[in-house]
Copies of this chain bind each other. A is one copy, B any other.
Amino acid sequence: MASKVFVPSRPWQEALEEFLGALRSSGYLTKLPEEEIEVTRALGRVTAAPVYAAISSPHYPAAAMDGIAVRAEITFGAGEQKPLELALGREAVVVDTGDPLPEGTDAVIMVEEVTFQDKTTAVIRRPAVPGQNVRPVGEDITAGEMLVPAHYILSPYDLGGLLAAGVTRVKVRPRPGVAILPTGTELVPPNPNPAPGEILESNGAMLAALVGQWGGTPEVYPITPDDYQLLKERLDRALGEKDLVLINAGSSAGREDYTARLVEEMGHLLTHGVATKPGKPVILGIVRDKPVIGVPGYPVSAALCAELFVKPVLYYRQGSNPPARAQVRAVLSRKIHSPLGREEFVRVRLEREGDRLIATPTSRGAATIMALARADGIVVVPRLSEGFPAGQEVMVYLLRPVPPAP
């Protein structure tokens, strides 16, 4: 038994760049799979290719109002003092909004400006101009035009636009399958009566929810006790079934060595530990050309590791860029002291005070998940800073919408 000092000094940005670079080299982030699905089921999916309009919208000249369709030139003399009678069915045709313009007509006079004298005659008191109240072919969409580019996340409005253009199926990136492997002999499924030493396995559901928000399809595997061979078998199976494997390392600080050793044995270990607080014992590796991420056991560390490493991998694997979190300026209500050499992610509550936002740091323990759940945002203290004084203006990454102005 020998003591082991483990103080990672690697900036997380450098670790992420190397990881993504290796995943690009292996083809994992460059040769992306695709699938074709119904447009009606494509909300939030990323396009694998540009999408072009099959037809124009409208695809025929259409009445833009309820009224009568006419050939404009026969109305040119009409006026308040010179009402013009039009023979219904021959010189004027009653149309509803959206109806195709009848052959030979080029304008629509809205119903409010028409007097129907009897069943055969309409009277107007103003001339029409050609094209009036008519939606020309392709007013919104022209057949063959690009509706959306590749690498684009489809919104509800896009679904409407694609369908209006006659596009019913679309090529998109599959949602990456993500295996989440909770490991640790001390872990038990959540229940209200654990024995001392038993730790409730709560990270699996949290990581699954985050993965789902980032476009992945999560599956939480059964808890794996501390058994090297069993963990190896589970990892092997997960690599066969999924695109990305997260090994959640239980609570012991020694546990991740286990995961690191396994990744090293089966593939390529890139990073073991980054200089962040919380979250340092993260593991980044590649096994059989697929990413394997060792996620720390403390819940706040696990959440941060997911944000820093899992989120970008999932977005890039779908051919998209990870969206940046919104930021706001706020003033610190009290000082933050932070260790030199580690980038610290400090959870804060936000309150409005006049037209300023005040940020107050909350509990900074890596295990205090409810403090994270209750936080409004994150203040980042750079690696080479010892913190900020009270009253300092800082940028806050938002975890939820900012409190509204009174």
Distance A75 CA – B194 CA, assembled complex (angstroms): 32
Distance A269 CA – B364 CA, assembled complex (angstroms): 55
Interface string of A146-183 (1 = CB under 8 A from B): 01100000011111111111111000000000000000
Asked if A369 contacts B140 (CB within 8 A), the reply is: yes
Show 23 residue pairs from A and B whose CB-CB distance is below 8 angstroms, ordered by the A residue.
A39-B190, A39-B205, A40-B205, A55-B194, A66-B252, A96-B251, A96-B254, A96-B255, A99-B252, A140-B369, A140-B370, A147-B370, A157-B303, A157-B373, A158-B373, A160-B299, A161-B369, A163-B190, A163-B202, A165-B370, A166-B190, A167-B190, A324-B404
5 closest A-B pairs by CB: A98-B251, A160-B206, A156-B209, A163-B202, A157-B373
Interface string of A194-220 (1 = CB under 8 A from B): 101101111101111110110000000
Asked if A197 contacts B401 (CB within 8 A), the reply is: no
Distance A59 CA – B198 CA, assembled complex (angstroms): 9
Residues on A close to B: CB < 8 A? 1-6, 39-40, 43, 54-55, 57-60, 64-66, 96-100, 111-116, 119, 135, 139-141, 147-148, 155-168, 184, 186, 190-194, 196-197, 199-203, 205-210, 212-213, 250-255, 297, 299, 303, 323-324, 326, 363, 365, 367-373, 399-401, 404
- Contacts A3-B114, A155-B209 known; list 17 others, CB within 8 Å: A6-B112, A40-B208, A43-B209, A43-B212, A66-B252, A66-B254, A98-B199, A98-B251, A99-B186, A99-B252, A140-B370, A155-B373, A159-B206, A164-B200, A166-B190, A166-B200, A324-B404
